[in-house]
Amino acid sequence: MRYFELEEPEDPDSGQWSGEYRAKRRWYVPSQLCPRCEAWGGMQAYPSVDLSSLPDNEALASVWPQAPEEVARRMALVRPFVPPELPLEPGYSLGPLVGTARGHFGPVTVWPSWQVLVREDARDLLLGEGLQGIIPVRAELRTRRTKEQALYELEARPLAKLHPDCIDRAPPCPACGNGGFSLPPKRWLLRESVPPGLDLFGVEGTTRIVVSERFVDTVNRLGPSDVFYREITAE
Ligand SMILES: [Zn+2]
């Protein structure tokens, strides 16, 4: 199976589709303050996590940095709602996108590159063809057009890893243990970490979303999207 990273079109004005949206997410784990490395947080999102039944969820509406104790307190509130096998870190965002949309959308929309939305017919086709790892969450986007199809965000769980040989990892912060890496321009996946059979997944420690060749072939049956598919290999 070949795999591709989703990227925004190189020239946004060259696209075929006029659709754009402005949205924020409903809930957040706050970013974390550290006396040494200032404030930090991951950018992973879990749109399928629904905190509407959580009594204290008002306190989770902001990603504004907090002291480690407060981050830990709020994270403990959220943890039971997140599948146990998935990481949860400061800065993570939860729940559906909420906002406004205008214009016409293609089958797949990737803007920014860490969010992927599909039109309702694309969602139905992906699920109907039996693709795996497709977790659609309806984006709550108000629009003035009543005939426009609904948009669904696809949750990209960070299941795969970049190959260690392509990562230049900085030593972790001695105060808080935070240790990240910047996205290497030349990168490939660690083969044994690629989840077998899945057609969409995220990459640990990055904001990248990877889809299978089968995903690309399936959505292309609905016509062109303003998406650039950059092949990523696995070793
Ligand atoms: Zn730190």
CA–centroid distance, 159 to ligand 1, in Å, is 25
| Three-class SS of 70-117 | HHHHHHHHHHHHCCCCCCCCCCCEEEEEEEEEECCCCCEEECCCCCEE
Span 78-131, pLDDT tens digits: 999 999 999 999 999 999 999 999 999 999 999 899 999 999 999 999 999 999
Residues lining ligand 1 (ion), CB within 5 A? 34, 36-37, 173, 175-176, 178
CA–centroid distance, 179 to ligand 1, in Å, is 8
Length of the chain: 235
Span 131-184, pLDDT tens digits: 999 999 999 999 987 788 999 999 999 999 999 999 988 889 999 888 888 899
CA–centroid distance, 59 to ligand 1, in Å, is 24
The answer to whether residues 111 and 7 touch, using CB atoms and an 8 Å cutoff, is: no
**What is the model's pLDDT at position 212?**
98
What would the two tokens of residue 139 be?
Answer: 């984006």
CA–centroid distance, 39 to ligand 1, in Å, is 8
**What is the model's pLDDT at position 217?**
98
| Lowest-confidence segment of 56-60, 79-83, 135-139, 223-227 by average pLDDT | 56-60
Sign of CA dihedral 84, 88, 139, 8: negative
Percentage of the chain exceeding pLDDT 90: 85
What would the two tokens of residue 47 be?
Answer: 């749109």
**What is the model's pLDDT at position 74?**
95
CA–centroid distance, 36 to ligand 1, in Å, is 5
CA–centroid distance, 173 to ligand 1, in Å, is 5
Domain boundaries, the chain: 3-158+197-232
pLDDT band at 15 (very low <50, low <70, confident <90, very high): confident
CA–centroid distance, 78 to ligand 1, in Å, is 22
CA–centroid distance, 183 to ligand 1, in Å, is 20
Q: Is the pLDDT of residue 12 over 80?
A: no
CA–centroid distance, 60 to ligand 1, in Å, is 22
- Across 42-60, average pLDDT: 93
CA–centroid distance, 188 to ligand 1, in Å, is 28
CA–centroid distance, 169 to ligand 1, in Å, is 15
